Amino acid sequence: MAATCEISNVFSNYFSTMYSPEEPALASVPTAATFGAEDLVLTLSNPQMPLEGPEKASWSGKQPQFWSKAQVLDWISYQVEKNKYDASSIDFSRCDMDGATLCNCAPEELRLVFGPLGDQLYSQLWDLTSSFPDELSWIIELLEKDSMAFQETLGPFDQGSPFSQEVLEEGRQASSYFPGSYGTGAPSPGSSDVSTAGTGTSQSPHSSDSGGSDVDLDLTDSKLFSRDGFPDYKKGDPKHGKRKRGRPRKLSKESRECLEGKRSKHAPRGTHLWEFIRDILLHPELNEGLMKWENRQEGVFKFLRSEAVAQLWGQKKRNNSMTYEKLSRAMRYYYKREILERVDGRRLVYKFGKNSSGWKEEEVAGSRN
């Protein structure tokens, strides 16, 4: 839990520094410059938001994790009204909590306080948190999830054992995915850093399929960290035989719900791969070490830690078997569509093409105004 709070703080800090403090109402609303017009539209069309009427609710447009106590109350009132629930049966003295606390409530706790409305609130909360489109929310989510999974995993182990120490140490090293987010002034990563993006779902170290390897992200045995119920295929694994071509089938709805817990029915489809890449490049403070611009004006960029980026992409797509080799295949398809241009003779280097957008400095600056 401490890790969760720290992570939230880190990103809260990020948000508050990223957006003008003079405009608190906008503080948590991603700008088009940051997340792209598409994402902005998603935000505005979020069905969970009470957009009708001239006044937007105070909590609207803000991630539940960052709601204040007043905003939590506001949201509860909204839900009570929306569901035409008898508010007299609610013990409002127990509603004195901020968004982070609310998000940490189990459905039983909510049921205890809100009665039958508790389930509805829990479900709405899930929808809200998971439908948030900004590109950081999924990182936050995955950091928090990994953090808990990691702690649960370590639980039964002797924390002082060389094994767990080693895992922790490796985790710390790999957490430099986003060293900027833990930069000076930011809270020490402490326990949270071991759970950093990409850690939990790294591919099998035995996979010969992996193309790259600037950094081996595999912190642990995949069995320890397998998540989401994704089949952990291994190329040439005699147990499983040769895998069929193509994208693996999704698990059945039931299996997924069982493995993931209750989640939004409409997980945001989110960005395309090239947009994901672009967004990483546009946030050097968060992606330090993952990718870099070779020539910003020309749109030329380079993967510094190809496998790490692939893992992050896999996390975003909830696919823990993503590798740089596969990601690069998808990137190569962009050549035909002129979203990317070839950069001959240079490994791990790509260039944005004429059908890509939102990466030019003028565009970024323009849409920020």
Partner DNA sequence: TATATATTTCCTGATT
Partner DNA sequence: TAATCAGGAAATATAT
Binding site for DNA (CB under 7 A): 209, 211-214, 233, 235, 242-250, 267, 269, 272-274, 306-307, 313-314, 317, 319, 321-322, 324-330, 332-333, 335, 337, 342, 344-345, 347-349
Residue placing its CB nearer to DNA in the complex, 53 or 345: 345
Nearest approach, Cβ of residue 345 and DNA (Å):
6
Nearest approach, Cβ of residue 312 and DNA (Å):
11
Residue placing its CB nearer to DNA in the complex, 6 or 279: 279
Q: What single letter denotes the amino acid at residue 233? A: Y
Report the C-alpha gap between 63 and 133 in whole angstroms: 10
Report the C-alpha gap between 106 and 73 in whole angstroms: 18
Nearest approach, Cβ of residue 226 and DNA (Å):
14
Q: How many other C-beta atoms can be found within 10 angstroms of the C-beta atom of residue 161? A: 11
Residue placing its CB nearer to DNA in the complex, 117 or 309: 309
Nearest approach, Cβ of residue 36 and DNA (Å):
13
DSSP sequence for 299-344: TEEEESSHHHHHHHHHHHTT-TT--HHHHHHHHHHHHHTTSEE--T
Per-residue HEC secondary structure of 60-73 comes to: CCCCHHHCCHHHHH
Residue placing its CB nearer to DNA in the complex, 28 or 323: 323
106 close to 125: Cβ distance less than 8 angstroms: no
Residue placing its CB nearer to DNA in the complex, 115 or 270: 270
91: Cβ contacts below 8 Å, ≥ 6 apart? 113
Report the C-alpha gap between 326 and 212 in whole angstroms: 10
**What are the structure tokens assigned to 40, written together?**
């902005």
Report the C-alpha gap between 107 and 364 in whole angstroms: 41
Nearest approach, Cβ of residue 257 and DNA (Å):
14
Nearest approach, Cβ of residue 272 and DNA (Å):
3
Residue 103: burial class (beta carbons within 10 Å; 0-12, 13-18, 19+): buried
Residue placing its CB nearer to DNA in the complex, 106 or 267: 267
Listed residue (147, 146, 127, 104) closest to 315, CA to CA: 146
Nearest approach, Cβ of residue 349 and DNA (Å):
6
Q: How many other C-beta atoms can be found within 10 angstroms of the C-beta atom of residue 123? A: 15
Nearest approach, Cβ of residue 326 and DNA (Å):
4
Rounded to 5 degrees, φ, ψ at 303 are -80, 125
Nearest approach, Cβ of residue 172 and DNA (Å):
23
Residue placing its CB nearer to DNA in the complex, 50 or 211: 211
User: In degrees, to the nearest 5, what angle opens at C-alpha 139 toward C-alphas 95 and 310?
Assistant: 160
Residue placing its CB nearer to DNA in the complex, 52 or 344: 344
Residue placing its CB nearer to DNA in the complex, 45 or 83: 45
